[in-house]
Amino acid sequence: MVLSTVGVNITPTVERAARELLRVCKPGGKIGLADWVPDGYVGNMLRTVGKHVPPPAGVKPPPLWGTEDRLRELLGEGVSSLDSTRRTYVFRYLSADHFIEQFRSYYGPVHKAFESLDEDGREALENDLKELIGEWNISDDETAILPSDYLEVVAVRR
């Protein structure tokens, strides 16, 4: 079994990463993936970040790994089957500020975006993230409860 949980999708060389998943998985073995979907909270968060810090030219958005079409494109003839199930992970934070602080500190794409911006840019990004959290937050108090869908995938190596 080769496994990646919301990790392989943020590499800038996704085609190479997909080939590596296939290379290290023995024939008949399984490749397990969990990747954020484009229309879920994280997909929207990454789009929001991309408005402030565009991804490098030619790099497709990481949440495309959360679609069967993109995975079939990436894994292609290297797999004999690919089964997927859409699931939901619920983020739970003390507040919108706490959520942003954690992602700003520890989630690569958000961390790098904040690092690359000047003070005005960081403030604008933070405001846009707070607005997005407000749109997705299902809490009825100051906490941030954000459901975010991901695609759970099990592919069998040909």
The DSSP bridge partners found for residue 16 are none
| Token pair belonging to 7 | 């990790």
Lowest mean pLDDT among 28-42, 44-58, 94-108: 44-58
Residue 137 confidence class, pLDDT cut points 50, 70, 90 = very high
pLDDT at 56 over 90: no
pLDDT at 11 over 90: no
Regarding predicted confidence, which is higher, 107 or 56?
Answer: 107
Residue 57 confidence class, pLDDT cut points 50, 70, 90 = confident
How far is C-alpha 40 from the geometric centre of its chain's CA atoms?
9
Residue 147 confidence class, pLDDT cut points 50, 70, 90 = very high
Q: Which residues contact 48 (CB under 8 A, 6 or more apart)?
A: 125, 128, 129, 132
Q: What is the DSSP string of 50-77?
A: HHHSPPPTTPPPGGGGGSHHHHHHHHGG
pTM for the model? 0.93
Boundaries of every domain in the chain: 2-157
Q: Average model confidence (pLDDT) for the chain?
A: 96
CATH of 2-157, one of 3.30.56.10, 3.40.50.2300, 3.50.50.60, 3.40.50.150: 3.40.50.150
